[in-house]
Amino acid sequence: MINENELIADSHGRSFKTLRVSLTSSCNLACLYCVEGGAKNSIKKPEGNEVLRLEEYLNIIKKIHERVGLETIRLTGGEPLLYNNIAELITGIKKIGILQVKLTTNGTLLSKMASELSDAGLDSANVSLDAANPVSFQNITRRKSIEKVIEGIDEAVKCGINLKINSVIMKNVNDDQVLPLLGFAKDRNLVIRYLELMKMGHLYDKHNSFFFSQAEILKEILLYHKINSLERGPGATARYWKTNSGQIFGVIANESQPFCHDCNRLRLDSYGNIYGCLSNSIGIPISHVIEEKAELDESLRMALAQKQEVKFTGSKISMKYIGG
Protein backbone atom coordinates (compact mmCIF):
# COMPACT_ATOMS: atom_id res chain seq x y z
CA MET A 1 0.00 0.00 0.00
CA ILE A 2 1.40 3.39 -1.04
CA ASN A 3 1.59 5.87 1.84
CA GLU A 4 0.46 9.22 0.41
CA ASN A 5 1.99 10.97 3.42
CA GLU A 6 5.41 9.99 2.12
CA LEU A 7 5.08 11.28 -1.43
CA ILE A 8 8.37 11.14 -3.28
CA ALA A 9 8.70 14.45 -5.11
CA ASP A 10 11.20 17.15 -5.95
CA SER A 11 11.26 20.73 -4.65
CA HIS A 12 8.74 21.75 -7.33
CA GLY A 13 6.28 19.01 -6.38
CA ARG A 14 7.06 16.84 -9.40
CA SER A 15 6.77 13.10 -8.84
CA PHE A 16 6.63 10.34 -11.43
CA LYS A 17 4.23 7.67 -12.64
CA THR A 18 6.15 6.59 -15.76
CA LEU A 19 9.43 4.69 -15.80
CA ARG A 20 11.33 4.47 -19.08
CA VAL A 21 13.46 1.33 -19.07
CA SER A 22 16.44 1.03 -21.43
CA LEU A 23 17.06 -2.65 -22.22
CA THR A 24 20.25 -2.34 -24.26
CA SER A 25 22.61 0.24 -25.71
CA SER A 26 22.96 -1.79 -28.91
CA CYS A 27 21.10 -0.91 -32.09
CA ASN A 28 20.94 -2.33 -35.62
CA LEU A 29 20.66 1.15 -37.16
CA ALA A 30 23.21 3.96 -37.06
CA CYS A 31 21.12 7.13 -37.23
CA LEU A 32 22.97 10.39 -37.78
CA TYR A 33 21.61 11.95 -34.60
CA CYS A 34 22.74 9.01 -32.49
CA VAL A 35 25.96 7.55 -33.93
CA GLU A 36 29.00 9.57 -34.91
CA GLY A 37 30.97 8.84 -38.05
CA GLY A 38 30.70 5.22 -39.14
CA ALA A 39 27.96 2.65 -38.76
CA LYS A 40 29.05 0.87 -35.59
CA ASN A 41 25.95 -0.70 -34.06
CA SER A 42 26.85 -0.85 -30.40
CA ILE A 43 28.21 1.30 -27.60
CA LYS A 44 30.83 -0.03 -25.22
CA LYS A 45 29.31 -0.55 -21.82
CA PRO A 46 30.80 1.27 -18.82
CA GLU A 47 33.67 -0.64 -17.23
CA GLY A 48 32.76 -2.64 -14.15
CA ASN A 49 29.03 -2.65 -14.90
CA GLU A 50 26.95 -5.66 -15.88
CA VAL A 51 23.74 -5.53 -17.85
CA LEU A 52 20.67 -6.29 -15.75
CA ARG A 53 19.11 -9.75 -15.99
CA LEU A 54 15.40 -10.28 -16.54
CA GLU A 55 14.82 -11.03 -12.86
CA GLU A 56 16.69 -7.87 -11.84
CA TYR A 57 14.62 -5.67 -14.14
CA LEU A 58 11.42 -7.13 -12.74
CA ASN A 59 12.54 -6.76 -9.14
CA ILE A 60 13.57 -3.12 -9.59
CA ILE A 61 10.31 -2.30 -11.37
CA LYS A 62 8.29 -4.14 -8.71
CA LYS A 63 9.94 -2.33 -5.80
CA ILE A 64 9.55 1.09 -7.43
CA HIS A 65 5.92 0.30 -8.28
CA GLU A 66 5.21 -0.69 -4.68
CA ARG A 67 6.67 2.62 -3.57
CA VAL A 68 5.10 5.10 -6.02
CA GLY A 69 2.34 3.27 -7.92
CA LEU A 70 3.67 3.29 -11.46
CA GLU A 71 1.10 3.66 -14.23
CA THR A 72 3.32 3.13 -17.28
CA ILE A 73 6.51 1.34 -18.24
CA ARG A 74 8.05 2.32 -21.57
CA LEU A 75 10.70 -0.07 -22.91
CA THR A 76 13.47 1.66 -24.86
CA GLY A 77 17.06 1.12 -25.96
CA GLY A 78 19.19 1.26 -28.08
CA GLU A 79 16.84 -1.04 -29.91
CA PRO A 80 14.76 -2.89 -27.28
CA LEU A 81 13.71 -5.68 -29.64
CA LEU A 82 17.34 -6.88 -29.59
CA TYR A 83 16.76 -7.82 -25.93
CA ASN A 84 16.20 -11.59 -25.91
CA ASN A 85 13.67 -11.75 -23.07
CA ILE A 86 11.45 -8.83 -24.00
CA ALA A 87 8.21 -10.85 -24.23
CA GLU A 88 8.84 -12.41 -20.82
CA LEU A 89 9.65 -8.99 -19.41
CA ILE A 90 6.37 -7.53 -20.70
CA THR A 91 4.41 -10.44 -19.22
CA GLY A 92 6.23 -10.02 -15.91
CA ILE A 93 5.54 -6.29 -15.77
CA LYS A 94 1.86 -6.91 -16.36
CA LYS A 95 1.81 -9.46 -13.53
CA ILE A 96 3.28 -6.83 -11.21
CA GLY A 97 0.09 -4.85 -11.81
CA ILE A 98 1.29 -2.03 -14.05
CA LEU A 99 -1.51 -1.23 -16.48
CA GLN A 100 0.36 0.19 -19.44
CA VAL A 101 3.44 -1.34 -21.06
CA LYS A 102 4.69 0.62 -24.05
CA LEU A 103 7.61 0.33 -26.45
CA THR A 104 9.79 2.65 -28.51
CA THR A 105 11.43 0.81 -31.41
CA ASN A 106 13.01 1.41 -34.80
CA GLY A 107 10.60 -1.20 -36.17
CA THR A 108 13.09 -3.31 -38.12
CA LEU A 109 12.28 -6.47 -36.11
CA LEU A 110 8.65 -5.68 -35.44
CA SER A 111 7.08 -7.71 -38.25
CA LYS A 112 8.56 -10.93 -36.81
CA MET A 113 7.75 -10.08 -33.19
CA ALA A 114 4.48 -8.12 -33.22
CA SER A 115 2.23 -11.11 -32.55
CA GLU A 116 4.40 -12.35 -29.66
CA LEU A 117 4.59 -8.87 -28.15
CA SER A 118 0.83 -8.41 -28.40
CA ASP A 119 0.21 -11.79 -26.76
CA ALA A 120 2.62 -10.84 -23.97
CA GLY A 121 0.52 -7.76 -23.18
CA LEU A 122 2.18 -4.87 -25.05
CA ASP A 123 -0.31 -2.01 -25.22
CA SER A 124 1.30 0.43 -27.62
CA ALA A 125 4.44 1.25 -29.55
CA ASN A 126 6.15 4.30 -30.98
CA VAL A 127 7.99 3.42 -34.18
CA SER A 128 10.85 5.65 -35.34
CA LEU A 129 10.53 6.49 -39.02
CA ASP A 130 12.54 9.54 -40.07
CA ALA A 131 11.83 9.43 -43.80
CA ALA A 132 9.12 8.13 -46.11
CA ASN A 133 11.32 7.12 -49.05
CA PRO A 134 14.23 4.63 -49.24
CA VAL A 135 16.95 7.12 -50.22
CA SER A 136 16.21 9.60 -47.44
CA PHE A 137 15.78 6.76 -44.97
CA GLN A 138 19.19 5.33 -45.83
CA ASN A 139 20.80 8.77 -45.61
CA ILE A 140 19.68 9.26 -42.02
CA THR A 141 19.86 5.66 -40.72
CA ARG A 142 22.81 4.39 -42.80
CA ARG A 143 20.78 1.24 -43.46
CA LYS A 144 18.55 -0.08 -46.25
CA SER A 145 15.80 -1.17 -43.89
CA ILE A 146 12.77 0.95 -44.73
CA GLU A 147 10.80 -2.00 -46.11
CA LYS A 148 11.30 -3.91 -42.87
CA VAL A 149 10.13 -0.93 -40.83
CA ILE A 150 7.00 -0.47 -42.94
CA GLU A 151 6.25 -4.20 -42.72
CA GLY A 152 6.65 -3.96 -38.96
CA ILE A 153 4.29 -1.02 -38.71
CA ASP A 154 1.62 -2.77 -40.76
CA GLU A 155 1.97 -6.04 -38.84
CA ALA A 156 1.78 -4.34 -35.46
CA VAL A 157 -1.44 -2.60 -36.49
CA LYS A 158 -2.89 -5.95 -37.58
CA CYS A 159 -2.00 -7.39 -34.18
CA GLY A 160 -3.94 -4.66 -32.39
CA ILE A 161 -0.96 -2.72 -31.01
CA ASN A 162 -1.76 0.98 -30.73
CA LEU A 163 0.89 2.66 -32.88
CA LYS A 164 2.38 6.13 -33.33
CA ILE A 165 5.13 7.27 -35.69
CA ASN A 166 8.09 9.25 -34.30
CA SER A 167 10.16 11.31 -36.74
CA VAL A 168 13.27 13.29 -35.80
CA ILE A 169 13.63 16.18 -38.25
CA MET A 170 17.11 17.51 -39.04
CA LYS A 171 17.82 20.62 -41.08
CA ASN A 172 19.28 19.88 -44.54
CA VAL A 173 19.07 16.15 -43.83
CA ASN A 174 15.40 15.12 -43.84
CA ASP A 175 13.47 18.38 -43.46
CA ASP A 176 11.99 17.67 -46.91
CA GLN A 177 10.25 14.64 -45.38
CA VAL A 178 7.77 16.50 -43.16
CA LEU A 179 4.92 16.34 -45.67
CA PRO A 180 5.71 12.86 -47.08
CA LEU A 181 5.73 11.47 -43.53
CA LEU A 182 2.43 13.19 -42.79
CA GLY A 183 1.00 11.49 -45.87
CA PHE A 184 2.43 8.12 -44.84
CA ALA A 185 0.75 8.40 -41.44
CA LYS A 186 -2.56 9.52 -42.95
CA ASP A 187 -2.63 6.55 -45.35
CA ARG A 188 -2.47 4.23 -42.34
CA ASN A 189 -4.68 6.32 -40.04
CA LEU A 190 -1.79 6.74 -37.58
CA VAL A 191 -0.73 9.67 -35.43
CA ILE A 192 2.71 11.03 -36.23
CA ARG A 193 4.86 13.08 -33.85
CA TYR A 194 7.71 15.16 -35.20
CA LEU A 195 10.66 15.56 -32.82
CA GLU A 196 12.96 18.53 -32.60
CA LEU A 197 16.57 17.38 -32.53
CA MET A 198 17.86 17.05 -28.97
CA LYS A 199 21.21 18.47 -27.89
CA MET A 200 22.77 15.11 -27.04
CA GLY A 201 25.72 12.85 -27.70
CA HIS A 202 28.10 13.66 -30.53
CA LEU A 203 25.82 16.50 -31.70
CA TYR A 204 25.95 18.29 -28.35
CA ASP A 205 28.25 20.99 -29.78
CA LYS A 206 26.75 20.86 -33.31
CA HIS A 207 23.09 20.99 -32.40
CA ASN A 208 22.37 24.37 -34.00
CA SER A 209 23.69 23.22 -37.37
CA PHE A 210 20.95 20.60 -37.66
CA PHE A 211 18.14 22.05 -35.56
CA PHE A 212 14.76 22.28 -37.29
CA SER A 213 12.20 23.97 -35.07
CA GLN A 214 8.56 23.34 -34.31
CA ALA A 215 7.74 26.62 -36.12
CA GLU A 216 9.54 25.39 -39.24
CA ILE A 217 7.73 22.03 -39.10
CA LEU A 218 4.36 23.76 -38.78
CA LYS A 219 5.26 26.13 -41.62
CA GLU A 220 5.79 23.14 -43.94
CA ILE A 221 2.44 21.62 -42.98
CA LEU A 222 0.61 24.95 -43.30
CA LEU A 223 1.59 25.11 -46.96
CA TYR A 224 -1.10 22.51 -47.69
CA HIS A 225 -3.25 22.21 -44.56
CA LYS A 226 -5.24 24.34 -42.17
CA ILE A 227 -4.61 23.24 -38.60
CA ASN A 228 -6.12 23.75 -35.15
CA SER A 229 -4.21 23.18 -31.92
CA LEU A 230 -5.49 20.68 -29.37
CA GLU A 231 -5.27 20.92 -25.59
CA ARG A 232 -2.06 19.56 -24.07
CA GLY A 233 -2.50 16.86 -21.46
CA PRO A 234 -0.69 16.97 -18.07
CA GLY A 235 2.88 15.68 -18.35
CA ALA A 236 2.62 15.28 -22.12
CA THR A 237 5.79 15.60 -24.19
CA ALA A 238 3.95 16.37 -27.42
CA ARG A 239 1.58 19.13 -28.42
CA TYR A 240 -1.02 18.09 -30.98
CA TRP A 241 -2.84 19.66 -33.89
CA LYS A 242 -5.69 18.52 -36.14
CA THR A 243 -5.73 19.27 -39.86
CA ASN A 244 -8.83 20.37 -41.73
CA SER A 245 -9.12 16.80 -43.03
CA GLY A 246 -9.21 15.44 -39.47
CA GLN A 247 -5.65 14.08 -39.25
CA ILE A 248 -3.94 14.45 -35.88
CA PHE A 249 -0.20 15.06 -35.61
CA GLY A 250 2.09 16.21 -32.83
CA VAL A 251 5.41 17.93 -32.24
CA ILE A 252 7.78 17.15 -29.38
CA ALA A 253 9.47 20.52 -29.11
CA ASN A 254 11.91 20.14 -26.25
CA GLU A 255 13.71 23.32 -27.31
CA SER A 256 10.92 25.55 -28.65
CA GLN A 257 8.24 24.68 -26.09
CA PRO A 258 9.86 22.92 -23.11
CA PHE A 259 7.74 20.61 -20.98
CA CYS A 260 10.02 20.18 -17.97
CA HIS A 261 7.63 21.96 -15.60
CA ASP A 262 5.33 18.94 -15.24
CA CYS A 263 7.61 16.08 -16.31
CA ASN A 264 6.40 12.83 -14.71
CA ARG A 265 9.09 10.40 -15.87
CA LEU A 266 12.25 8.75 -14.59
CA ARG A 267 14.61 6.56 -16.61
CA LEU A 268 16.36 3.29 -15.76
CA ASP A 269 19.34 2.22 -17.84
CA SER A 270 20.44 -1.35 -18.54
CA TYR A 271 23.08 -1.26 -15.79
CA GLY A 272 20.80 -0.36 -12.88
CA ASN A 273 21.20 3.42 -12.83
CA ILE A 274 18.24 5.76 -12.63
CA TYR A 275 18.03 9.24 -14.17
CA GLY A 276 15.66 12.12 -13.61
CA CYS A 277 16.55 13.97 -16.80
CA LEU A 278 18.36 13.46 -20.08
CA SER A 279 20.26 16.66 -19.27
CA ASN A 280 22.24 14.72 -16.67
CA SER A 281 24.77 12.14 -17.88
CA ILE A 282 25.40 10.66 -14.41
CA GLY A 283 22.85 8.13 -13.22
CA ILE A 284 22.00 7.24 -9.64
CA PRO A 285 22.87 3.56 -8.88
CA ILE A 286 19.71 1.92 -7.66
CA SER A 287 19.94 -1.87 -8.08
CA HIS A 288 21.93 -2.34 -4.85
CA VAL A 289 19.50 -0.32 -2.66
CA ILE A 290 16.25 -1.65 -4.02
CA GLU A 291 15.47 -3.78 -0.94
CA GLU A 292 15.93 -0.94 1.56
CA LYS A 293 12.98 1.48 1.59
CA ALA A 294 14.83 4.46 3.05
CA GLU A 295 17.74 4.09 0.62
CA LEU A 296 15.40 3.52 -2.31
CA ASP A 297 13.46 6.66 -1.41
CA GLU A 298 16.68 8.65 -1.21
CA SER A 299 17.86 7.39 -4.61
CA LEU A 300 14.53 8.27 -6.22
CA ARG A 301 14.63 11.75 -4.69
CA MET A 302 18.18 12.23 -5.95
CA ALA A 303 17.03 11.29 -9.45
CA LEU A 304 14.07 13.65 -9.25
CA ALA A 305 16.45 16.42 -8.17
CA GLN A 306 18.16 16.10 -11.57
CA LYS A 307 15.08 17.46 -13.33
CA GLN A 308 15.45 20.85 -14.97
CA GLU A 309 13.26 23.65 -13.69
CA VAL A 310 12.47 25.16 -17.08
CA LYS A 311 14.03 23.40 -20.07
CA PHE A 312 16.29 20.61 -21.28
CA THR A 313 19.91 21.79 -21.32
CA GLY A 314 21.54 18.91 -23.20
CA SER A 315 23.98 16.13 -22.42
CA LYS A 316 26.98 14.47 -24.06
CA ILE A 317 25.54 11.04 -23.23
CA SER A 318 24.30 9.20 -26.33
CA MET A 319 20.58 8.64 -26.78
CA LYS A 320 21.39 4.97 -27.49
CA TYR A 321 22.64 4.53 -23.94
CA ILE A 322 19.67 5.92 -22.03
CA GLY A 323 16.74 5.94 -24.46
CA GLY A 324 14.54 8.86 -25.48
* Residue 111 φ then ψ, to 5°: -65, -35
Cα–Cα distances in Å, from 259 out to 187, 234, 235, 252, 308?
30, 10, 7, 9, 10
pLDDT at 321 over 90: no
* Average pLDDT value for residue range 175-199: 96
Residue 137 has pLDDT above 50, yes or no: yes
pLDDT at 6: 64
Confidence of residue 47 (pLDDT cuts 50, 70, 90): very low
Can you give the pLDDT at residue 245?
Answer: 96
**Per-residue model confidence (pLDDT) at position 230:** 97
Residue 265 pLDDT level (bands cut at 50, 70, 90): confident
Whole-angstrom distance, CA of residue 249 vs CA of residue 253: 13
Buried b / exposed e over 38-57, threshold 16 CB at 10 Å, is eeebebebeeeeebbeeeeb
Cross-strand pairs, 162: 124
Domain ranges for the chain: 15-322
pLDDT digit string, tens, across residues 248-263 = 999 998 888 877 777 8
**Homologous superfamily of 15-322:** Aldolase class I (3.20.20.70)
SS3 of residue 136 by DSSP: helix
Evaluate whether 11 touches 308 at the Cβ level (below 8 Å): no
Please write the tens of the pLDDT for every residue from 301-317: 998 888 877 677 777 77
Cis? peptide before 235, omega within 30° of 0: no
**Sheet (strand 227-229) strand order:** 227-229, 239-243, 248-252, 191-196, 162-169, 124-128, 100-105, 72-76, 18-22, 265-268, 273-275, 284-285
Percent of the chain scored above 90 by pLDDT?
Answer: 69
